[in-house]
Structure 1
Amino acid sequence: MLWAAKECGTADFGDARLTQRLVSFVAELTEHPQSSLPEALGQWSATKAAHRFFSNEKVTGKAIYDSHRGATLDNMQDQSMILAVQDTTIVTFTLHRKAEGLGPIGQTGLSGFFLHSCLAVSTKGVPQGILAHRLWTRSTEDKGKRELRRQRPLEDKESVRWIDVTKEVRTVVPDTTKVMMVGDRESDIFDLFLLAVNNHDFLVRAAWDRRLHDSDDHLWHVVENAPVLGQTTIKVPRRDERPEREAILTLQAATVTLRTPHHRKKENLAPPTVNALLVREQSPQDGEPPIEWMLLTTLPITTFEEALPCLTWYTYRWRIERYHYILKSGCQIEKLQLETKDRLMRALAVYSIVASRLLRLTYQARETPEAPCTEALRESEWQALYTATHKTTVLPEQPPNMQTAVLWIAKLGGFLGRKSDGNPGLKVLWRGFRRLHDLTTMWEILHPPNIYG
């Protein structure tokens, strides 16, 4: 409960009882991330309280997210640089299509809303929490207007979220911490590159083979004809039915000045200069499409040593895909049975804190394996975990480290821990957390705190 109070205990709804209820919900849902609300909360009275909470107009998603963002900023306060990783996902409600206020999502007969998240990630790859978000629905009136979008001003397009979130994050993160916005091809927006003159840093994957300023040349042609800086190997995480694999990559780089789009010539915009890094896979495994990334950044890239961090940090973009995966496949937010869009969005804000904690714990164990597990688990949790793992009530003087504790939790969820198994995945950790919750509850019953000591 202490960690939950830290994550969302400052949420201001104008009623302290609602804040206390939020903390309680978050703590319970984290222990049962895959369960429905009735299963996670255990009692019908608690489930009714949850529905009243999500129906209360005093409860706002903004207050929940703002509270969590405060905890995120605390997590990263000692870091000189943070990666602000952005991505968009579609939240679809196939089992509850009659919920009021949902909109079309581009697939015939399906409805839902869109979620754009900005995840803070350390330069070592450990997620710190959510820094910003956008939630919206599409109107049925927007359908069929795709051909007109090019002529619309940016502020009237959905893509403006990339610009707005980048600016918002820079204003909330202290000036002592450098912010590097990381995005996929959807973030290849000319206005984003214009932010570089205002000290906004970015690392994005290019989607367009843009023309260059004062030249008939194009982006790809210039960079692929630049000298090779070197080769390196990365691990590509497993996806769907494809196992994790290694990819050998060749790196090339060049500094380029992008031409202003023709339809914006009248604005007299200064053409932005960026550094481009072309990443190409050599000899991919049979059946695997080769990796080819054109990365555009404000960071200097003149040597192989300067190129490597850019490549590594872009691979951390996969962290936000895992975050959205936890929300939808782990927390199963698309199966929530709530009657309106507003209630669903409030519930999503609560589950975002749950997903953020599970994600952070997973990667913290990989990146800082020797840190004490008390950075993520409360005392009764690691003690119950140790007892269940070793079948003894004799506890060590010091708690185990993060890597060991997470491995034990994964084994509670069915992870075998063989050499060929690699690191435990998120699914077994979810199952392990569910068992750990039950074990901890029994441990606390049998070992109540000595309030008179």
Structure 2
Amino acid sequence: MFGTDYSKLFNDLRLSRRGESLLNKLRQDPSTSIQSLASCRAEQKAFYRFLNSSKVKEELLSSEMGFRCGKAVRGKVVLCIQDTSEINLANHSNRLKASSGVGPIDAVKKGIGFKVHPCLVVDAYTCFPYGYAGIDLFNRTGVKLVTGYERSKMSVKDKESAKWLRGNQRAGNYLKDAASVIIIQDREGDIFEQFTPGALADNSFLIVRSQYDRILTSEGRLLAAVAQEPCKGTYTIQVDRDSHKKTATREAQIEVRYKKVQFKRPDRRPKDVPEISADVFVIEAREITENIEDPIHWRLTTTLPVNTVE
């Protein structure tokens, strides 16, 4: 993997050599600055010129990562893990240009930086990392503040939440030759549009930590429906101590329930959104260990068929 050839990426031999040199330095020390990476002032300038070149674009680097990752996963079952991180540049705000791609962030008051939403791809059985199915870089510059009611009527494509759908689309494009792609998202990804028919590529499945008590086509609400299901099985896990919550290491007894459901379209969604979701399975894992103050309780929504606890 360290011998990867990037000579044809920029159609510029000098840029390719500089990029390869920078990449080799970053492999040795991935968390340091350009100034610290460079062995001299001339090399530092060369690295900055490379990064500021009009031929070196974020979209180009992201798509190249996706294509190379796609080649590595042909015929394999992989996990595509999505999440969002913030790059906090508040300590450098005096040196940043307004046009440098930064905006407000959540980390600190009056913080400045940008968001990174990668799709990390690993082997489903060994967790060996194959790379990224693209990376979404964005900021909140020029974002218009709206009321909750106005936001509920907006298309998901016009919201920041669209990053999850864009991640699914990139996974479908770059990982089309994988045997199966299991996309994993946290509660922020619990978006109705993701569960509608045709939302995923044919070889893709979705597992999302549930956030909303959705209305079901069979009447009633999601949480009550899955809680009323009979227990399908139990298992035991080891839970490490938590110094923040002041809990000791313990063995947790987990009870599992699951149910096949369809969701109704939430109120005030645009009319071009399907009225009913595709078939999904909701899984509830609830800790039944006695005398536990804060027991484990997870709910997952998945497009994978669930027929057994295993």
SS in 1 for 2:86: strand
1:59 aligned partner: 56
Q: Report 1 or 2 for greater relative contact order, CA contacts < 8 Å, sequence distance ≥ 6.
A: 1
- Which structure carries more strand by proportion? 2
1:59 and 1:156 mapped to 2: Cα distance?
A: 27
Q: Distance in 1 between matches of 2:184 and 2:164?
A: 10
Task: Give me the whole-angstrom Cα distance separating, in 2, the residues matched to 1:296 and 1:183.
Answer: 10
Partners of 2:27 and 2:189 lie apart in 1 by: 32
CA shift at 1:56, angstroms? 1.4
Task: Write the distance in 1 (CA, Å) between the matches of 2:27 and 2:13.
Answer: 21
Given that 1:223 and 1:254 are in contact with CA atoms closer than 8 Å, whether structure 2 keeps it comes out as yes
Equivalent residue number for residue 441 of structure 1: none
| Residue of structure 1 aligned with 2:38, choices 38, 41, 44 | 41
Alignment of 1:250-269 (within 5 A): 250-264=255-269, 266-267=271-272, 269=275
Give the distance between the partners of 1:175 and 1:29, measured in 2 at CA.
30
Match of 1:104 in 2: 104
Q: Which amino acid aligns with 1:51?
A: Y
**What number of residue pairs does the alignment pair up?**
299
1:9-408 map, 5 Å: 9=6, 12-79=9-76, 81-98=77-94, 99-100=96-97, 101=99, 102-106=102-106, 107-124=108-125, 125-143=127-145, 145=147, 148-195=150-197, 199=202, 200-215=204-219, 217-234=220-237, 247-264=252-269, 266-267=271-272, 269-283=275-289, 289-305=294-310
Please provide the CA RMSD for this pair.
2.8
% identity of equivalent residues: 27
Change over 3 Å in CA distance of 1:109–1:239 after alignment to 2:
farther
Gap change, CA 1:75 and 1:284, over 3 Å in 2: farther
Q: Which structure features the higher share of helix residues?
A: 1
What CA distance in whole angstroms lies between the structure 2 residues aligned with 1:147 and 1:108? 26
Which secondary structure does the structure 1 equivalent of 2:87 belong to? strand
Unaligned runs of 5+ in 2: none
Please give the secondary structure, in 2, of the residue aligned with 1:49: helix
CA distance, structure 1, for counterparts of residue 35 and residue 307 of structure 2: 57
Aligned counterparts of 2:189 and 2:278: Cα–Cα separation in 1: 15
| Distance 1:284-1:152 versus aligned 2 partners, 3 A rule | farther
Normalised by the length of structure 1, the TM-score is 0.60
For residues 165 and 61 of structure 1, the distance between their equivalents in structure 2, rounded to whole angstroms, comes to 16
* Amino acid across the alignment from 2:109: T
Q: Decide whether the 8 Å contact of 1:4 with 1:26 is kept in 2.
A: no
Per the TM alignment, residue 129 of structure 1 is displaced from its structure 2 partner at its CA by: 0.9
Gaps of 5+ in 1: 306-453
Tell me, in whole angstroms, the C-alpha distance in 1 between the residues paired with 2:303 and 2:59.
31
